[in-house]
């Protein structure tokens, strides 16, 4: 229920609140809208990692938006409630850093990490390759539970299942990109309403595989994309062409 | 824009469009930046494929007073190639981010072009004569047997077909960790700055192996990063002064005489936030996409997502003028955030006399604001409806409610999301405006030149004179 006379500017005109009749319209609650904005922002941040080189300005602005929402939610007291439900973690009396913000709730449950803001920003640094590898080690794919101690991505098992999962995720990406305008995140996610987190796994798996430079998985990826390319590739699937080019060149 | 006597209004005529007919154009041909040279005779365009194409305006025909010279291809060269950063396993795009012309000193033209990481100085020179009549060489270049030479002659220069050569003279590399967004040539014509997301470097045009870092806003811990540099420019007259804008809507003016590292600004320009308009998107829409000094050097203009602001350099706490570019988008910010349009960066520019400012909007629209008359106009640079010398009719967007005839509704603007005018360049000669370039993401690799035509109204009879 919106207070009289206060216009909420951040949401669309179609849910326009015109003064006194606000409470009587079926308007999604402010909390729900805020939550969906938070979810959207987190997905955007994760999507950054799929591209070759994320735009730093855009990422900073999205991360600031996420932080802003989170601060407001903390003041409201709603943040702690949500976190307690989803993660079961006890220590939430401090402001959560953006590192944790960027985790999807599903992966929080499974104890995995997606590339956090600090993680990917470190990629921009001219760090020694060892640091990059240890950063990448935090990016786990679905196979991670089998290799909890694996600190070296080169040791990732080149299993059939790995390929299978990867094939599936590749098909999913190709499908969505083929049908919609690849530049529109909205289009990309229009089908993926509640299953943000499934896409997270997909993206993480994609990113994990594309980041590896010398692994055997890389070669299997290249061969898979060539077989896929005949059926699925169109000239406007730019991001994946990009990735393939890099992998083939390296 | 009003003149003395009978009164004349400047209207705008569509002049020329260059580029692909259909919308299905290769990614590499998409224009990413444009810049007129100082005289307006040359127009340089950079594209995503790392190419620079320079157009030259043909000499105006003196018999036809109303024909404005068309721009034709003058030179094409590959400025940047894609590179691969092996350490980070990332590709460095060859897309040209910015082009800046150097003032012309001799017959050759010089320009700086940059991609995300490397800046290059290019020399463009003409050759229209070649020597003929060598004694020791044949015309095709083969060497003659010296014993066969019986007479001597002096080689002469004979005219040949014009050849325009572009050669890279300097390569300024390896100074930027982040993506370069701006380059600006200093008024001393010896140095220039290059700015990326977190740092600004000062270069000397003659020295490629060294640059000085003059601004560094990178925090020790990248997790604390909340603000990036979005644009930077040198002052047009003071060679020690430059400004840089940020993603938080602030502009910092720095004086290089104060210290070597200008992390502490001399002036900070920031407008206090309007609490009634506060939303989660406030910061994003306050992010400045372009900053430009006026020719006089007294003012500077900034472009954020919804408005253009003019600042007096003597007043830091608020701009002296604010112009709304597309206020009707304010209620759509959530959708624009969703489809990433809210992150689009628009440019802005001044006319020669600093009396009119211009910027782009979506749907092929561009907006001009007259600072003196406070009138503004929206024009559409759409080649579909325009033939050369067509006077452009002003357009109007209706924000909500009933749509009047000839108006465009806000929702229809979102149908074609790709249509936006980002690059607006205005070249002027004194107070006469020479031309406006418009680059269109929708048209992909085309640009449009729109020129002013003066319409005279006299008291008794109406005479139409175009210029």
- Six token digits for residue A200: 């997270």
- Read off the pLDDT band of B356 (50, 70, 90): confident
The pLDDT of residue B412 is: 62
SS3 assignment, position B349: strand
The pLDDT of residue B382 is: 61
Contact A185 B333 (CB under 8 A): no
Q: Which residues of B touch A50 (CB under 8 A)?
A: none
C-alpha B314/C-alpha A98 separation (Å) is 38
Q: Which residues of A touch B179 (CB under 8 A)?
A: 53, 55-56
Residue A27 in contact with partner chain B when CB distance is under 8 A: no
**In angstroms, how far is CA A88 from the centroid of its own chain?**
22
C-alpha B79/C-alpha B447 separation (Å) is 19
- Six token digits for residue A230: 């005949």
User: Does pLDDT of B251 surpass 50?
Assistant: yes
Q: Which residue has the higher pLDDT, A14 or B285?
A: B285
The pLDDT of residue A240 is: 66
Torsional class of B392: left (φ above 0), alpha (ψ -120 to 50), beta (otherwise): beta
Least confident window among A21-30, A40-49, B118-127: A21-30
- Mean pLDDT estimate for chain A: 52
Cβ atoms of residues B196 and B229 within 8 Å: yes
Average of per-residue pLDDT across B414-425: 52
SS3 assignment, position B98: strand
Spatial neighbors of B131 by CB under 8 A, at least 6 apart, are B155, B156, B157, B158
Average of per-residue pLDDT across A181-204: 43
Q: Which residues of B touch A246 (CB under 8 A)?
A: 84, 89-91
User: Does pLDDT of B297 surpass 60?
Assistant: yes
Spatial neighbors of A181 by CB under 8 A, at least 6 apart, are A187, B417
User: Does pLDDT of B383 surpass 80?
Assistant: no
Instruction: Write out the H or E segment, with its range, that includes residue B284.
Output: helix B282-286
- Read off the pLDDT band of B467 (50, 70, 90): very low
In 3D, which of A63, A29, A23 has the Cα closest to residue A45? A63
The pLDDT of residue B390 is: 59
Spatial neighbors of B158 by CB under 8 A, at least 6 apart, are B129, B130, B131, B132
The pLDDT of residue A54 is: 76
User: Does pLDDT of B374 surpass 70?
Assistant: yes
User: Does pLDDT of B442 surpass 70?
Assistant: no
Contact B197 A58 (CB under 8 A): no
Among A103-107, B51-55, B437-441, the range with the most confident prediction by mean pLDDT is: B51-55
The pLDDT of residue B15 is: 60
User: Does pLDDT of B61 surpass 50?
Assistant: yes
Contact B283 A58 (CB under 8 A): no
Q: Which residue has the higher pLDDT, B284 or B421?
A: B284
Cβ neighbour number for residue B355 with a 10 Å cutoff: 16
Q: Which residues of B touch A10 (CB under 8 A)?
A: 279-281, 333-334
User: Does pLDDT of A134 surpass 60?
Assistant: no
Tell which CATH architecture fits domain B30-123+173-452: 7 Propeller (2.130)
The pLDDT of residue B190 is: 95
The pLDDT of residue B205 is: 96
Average of per-residue pLDDT across B263-286: 91
Cβ neighbour number for residue B298 with a 10 Å cutoff: 13
Contact A57 B287 (CB under 8 A): yes
Minimal Cβ distance to B223: which of A40, A98, A126: A98
SS3 assignment, position A178: helix
Among A189-198, B28-37, B242-251, B358-367, the range with the most confident prediction by mean pLDDT is: B242-251
Average of per-residue pLDDT across A204-221: 41
Residue spans per domain, chain B:
30-123+173-452
Minimal Cβ distance to B331: which of A12, A118, A186: A12
Helix orientation angle between A78-87 and A56-76, rounded to the nearest 10 degrees: 100
Cβ neighbour number for residue A130 with a 10 Å cutoff: 9
- Read off the pLDDT band of B421 (50, 70, 90): low
- Read off the pLDDT band of B43 (50, 70, 90): confident
In 3D, which of A120, A216, A82 has the Cα closest to residue A162? A216
Contact A57 B277 (CB under 8 A): no
Contacts 24+ apart (CB under 8 A), A124-128: A124/A56, A124/B88, A124/B177, A124/B178, A124/B222, A125/B177, A125/B222, A126/B87, A126/B88, A126/B177
- Six token digits for residue B292: 């430009």
User: Does pLDDT of A97 surpass 50?
Assistant: no
Residue corresponding to tokens 């405006």: B433
SS3 assignment, position B301: strand
Give the burial class of B272: count Cβ atoms within 10 A of its Cβ; 0-12 exposed, 13-18 middle, 19 or more buried.
exposed
Contact A12 B335 (CB under 8 A): yes
CA distance B301 to chain A (A): 21
C-alpha A69/C-alpha A82 separation (Å) is 13
Picking from A64, A192, A221 by the largest number of B CB atoms within 10 A of its own CB, the best residue to mutate is: A64
In 3D, which of A57, A22, A37, A14 has the Cα closest to residue B287? A57
Q: Which residue has the higher pLDDT, A137 or B60?
A: B60
Q: Is the ipTM of this complex over 0.85?
A: no
Contact A57 B178 (CB under 8 A): no
Residue in chain B lying closest to A58 (CA): B343
The pLDDT of residue A238 is: 65
Contact A65 B284 (CB under 8 A): yes
CA distance B90 to chain A (A): 6
Spatial neighbors of B256 by CB under 8 A, at least 6 apart, are B202, B214, B240, B241, B242, B262
Residue A37 in contact with partner chain B when CB distance is under 8 A: yes
Picking from B88, B94, B335 by the largest number of A CB atoms within 10 A of its own CB, the best residue to mutate is: B88
Query: 3-state SS string over B388-428?
Result: CCEECCCCEEECCCCCCCCEEEHHHHCCCCCCEEEEEEEEE
The pLDDT of residue B211 is: 95
User: Does pLDDT of B300 surpass 90?
Assistant: yes
Q: Which residue has the higher pLDDT, B175 or A5?
A: B175
User: Does pLDDT of A150 surpass 80?
Assistant: no
The pLDDT of residue A96 is: 42
Contact B280 A37 (CB under 8 A): yes
Contact A245 B91 (CB under 8 A): yes
Instruction: Give the number of C-alpha atoms closer than 13 A to the C-alpha of residue B97, restricted to the C-beta side.
Output: 21
C-alpha A90/C-alpha A88 separation (Å) is 6
The pLDDT of residue B46 is: 87
User: Which residues make beta-bridge pairs with B12?
Assistant: B452
Contact B343 A57 (CB under 8 A): yes
- Read off the pLDDT band of B237 (50, 70, 90): very high
For every residue of A192-244, DSSP letters joined together read -SSTHHHHHHHHHHHHHHHH-SS-HHHHHHHHHHHHHHHHH--TT-HHHHHHH
Q: Which residue has the higher pLDDT, B59 or B282?
A: B282
A-B Cβ pairs (cutoff 8 Å, strict): 123
Contacts 24+ apart (CB under 8 A), B299-306: B299/B354, B300/B233, B300/B243, B300/B251, B301/B348, B301/B350, B301/B357, B302/B245, B302/B251, B302/B348, B303/B346, B303/B347, B303/B348, B303/B359, B304/B249, B305/B329, B305/B342, B305/B344, B305/B346, B306/B330
Residue in chain A lying closest to B82 (CA): A246
Instruction: Give the number of C-alpha atoms closer than 13 A to the C-alpha of residue A170, restricted to the C-beta side.
Output: 26
- Read off the pLDDT band of B276 (50, 70, 90): confident
Among A220-229, A240-249, B413-422, B442-451, the range with the most confident prediction by mean pLDDT is: A240-249
The pLDDT of residue A27 is: 58
Average of per-residue pLDDT across A50-54: 64
C-alpha B141/C-alpha B159 separation (Å) is 18
Q: Which residues of B touch A118 (CB under 8 A)?
A: 221-223
C-alpha B461/C-alpha B467 separation (Å) is 19
Query: 3-state SS string over B145-208?
Result: CHHHCCCCCCCEEEEEEEEEEEEEEEEECCCCCCCCCEEEECCCCCEEEEECCCEEEEEECCEE
Instruction: Provide the residue count of chain B.
Output: 467
Residue A234 in contact with partner chain B when CB distance is under 8 A: no
The pLDDT of residue B138 is: 84
Return the percentage of chain B with pLDDT > 70, whole number. 74
The β-bridge relationship of strands B182-185 and B396-398 is unpaired
Contact B280 A68 (CB under 8 A): yes
- Mean pLDDT estimate for chain B: 80
Q: What's the pLDDT tens digit per position in B150-206?
A: 889 999 999 999 899 999 999 999 999 999 999 999 999 999 999 999 999 999 999
User: Does pLDDT of B261 surpass 50?
Assistant: yes
User: Does pLDDT of B426 surpass 80?
Assistant: no
Average of per-residue pLDDT across B302-324: 95
Residue in chain B lying closest to A238 (CA): B27
Residue in chain A lying closest to B343 (CA): A58
Cβ atoms of residues B331 and A13 within 8 Å: yes
């Amino acid at each position: 229920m919106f207070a009289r006379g206060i216009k909420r500017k951040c949401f669309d005109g179609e849910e326009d609140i015109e003064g006194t009749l606000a409470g009587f319209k079926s308007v999604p609650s402010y909390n729900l809208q805020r939550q969906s904005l938070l979810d959207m922002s987190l997905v955007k941040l994760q999507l950054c990692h799929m591209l070759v080189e994320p735009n730093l300005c855009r990422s900073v602005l999205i991360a600031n938006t996420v932080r802003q929402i989170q601060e407001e939610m903390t003041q409201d007291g709603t943040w702690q409630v949500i976190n307690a439900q989803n993660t079961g973690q006890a220590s939430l009396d401090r402001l959560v850093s953006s590192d944790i913000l960027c985790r999807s709730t599903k992966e929080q449950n499974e104890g995995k990490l997606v590339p956090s803001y600090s993680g990917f920003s470190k990629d921009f640094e001219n760090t020694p390759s060892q640091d990059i590898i240890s950063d990448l080690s935090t990016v786990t794919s679905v196979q991670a539970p089998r290799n909890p101690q694996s600190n070296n991505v080169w040791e990732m098992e080149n299993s059939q299942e790995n390929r299978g999962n990867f094939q599936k995720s590749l098909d999913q990406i190709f499908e969505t990109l083929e049908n919609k305008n690849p530049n529109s995140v909205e289009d990309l996610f229009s089908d993926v309403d509640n299953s943000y987190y499934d896409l997270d796994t997909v993206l993480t798996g994609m990113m994990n595989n594309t980041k590896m430079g010398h692994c055997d998985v890389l070669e299997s990826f290249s061969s898979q994309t060539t077989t896929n390319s005949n059926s699925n590739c169109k000239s406007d699937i730019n991001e994946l062409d990009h990735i393939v080019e890099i992998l083939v060149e390296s | 824009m009003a003149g003395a006597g009978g009164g004349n209004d400047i209207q705008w005529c569509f002049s020329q469009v260059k580029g692909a007919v259909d919308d299905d154009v290769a990614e590499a041909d998409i224009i990413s930046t444009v810049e007129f040279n100082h005289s307006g005779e040359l127009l340089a365009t950079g594209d995503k494929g790392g190419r620079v194409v320079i157009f030259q305006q043909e000499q105006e025909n003196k018999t036809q007073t109303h024909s404005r010279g068309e721009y034709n291809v003058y030179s094409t060269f590959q400025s940047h190639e894609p590179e691969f950063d092996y350490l980070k396993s990332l590709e460095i795009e060859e897309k040209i981010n910015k082009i800046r012309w150097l003032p012309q000193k001799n017959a050759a033209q010089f320009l700086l072009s940059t991609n995300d990481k490397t800046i290059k100085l290019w020399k463009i020179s003409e050759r229209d004569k070649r020597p003929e009549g060598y004694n020791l060489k044949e015309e095709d270049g083969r060497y003659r047997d010296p014993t066969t030479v019986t007479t001597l002659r002096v080689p002469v220069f004979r005219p040949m077909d014009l050849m325009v050569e572009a050669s890279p003279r300097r390569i300024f590399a390896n100074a930027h960790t982040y993506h370069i967004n701006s380059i600006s040539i200093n008024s001393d014509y010896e140095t220039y700055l290059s700015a990326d997301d977190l740092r600004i470097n000062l270069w000397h045009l003659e020295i490629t192996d060294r640059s000085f870092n003059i601004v560094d806003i990178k925090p020790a811990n990248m997790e604390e990063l909340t603000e990036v540099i979005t644009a930077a420019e040198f002052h047009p007259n003071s060679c020690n002064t430059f400004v840089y804008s940020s993603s938080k809507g602030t502009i910092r003016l720095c004086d290089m005489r104060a210290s070597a590292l200008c992390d502490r600004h001399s002036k900070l320009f920031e407008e206090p936030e309007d609490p009634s308009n506060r939303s989660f998107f406030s910061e994003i829409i306050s992010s400045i996409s372009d900053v430009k000094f006026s020719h006089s050097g007294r003012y500077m203009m900034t472009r954020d997502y919804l408005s253009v602001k003019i600042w007096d350099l003597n007043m830091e706490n608020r701009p002296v003028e604010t112009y709304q570019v597309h206020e009707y988008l304010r209620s759509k910010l959530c959708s624009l955030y969703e489809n990433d349009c809210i992150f689009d960066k628009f440019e802005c520019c001044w006319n020669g006399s600093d009396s009119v400012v211009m910027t782009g909007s979506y749907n092929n629209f561009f907006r001009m604001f007259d600072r003196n008359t406070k009138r503004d106009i929206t024009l559409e640079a759409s080649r579909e409806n325009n033939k050369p010398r067509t006077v452009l009719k002003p357009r109007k967007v209706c924000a909500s409610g009933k749509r009047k005839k000839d108006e465009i509704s806000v929702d229809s603007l979102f149908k074609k999301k790709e249509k936006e005018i980002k690059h607006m360049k205005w070249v002027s000669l004194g107070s006469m405006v020479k031309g406006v370039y418009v680059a269109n993401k929708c048209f992909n690799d085309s640009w449009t030149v729109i020129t002013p035509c003066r319409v005279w109204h006299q008291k008794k009879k109406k005479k139409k004179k175009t210029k």
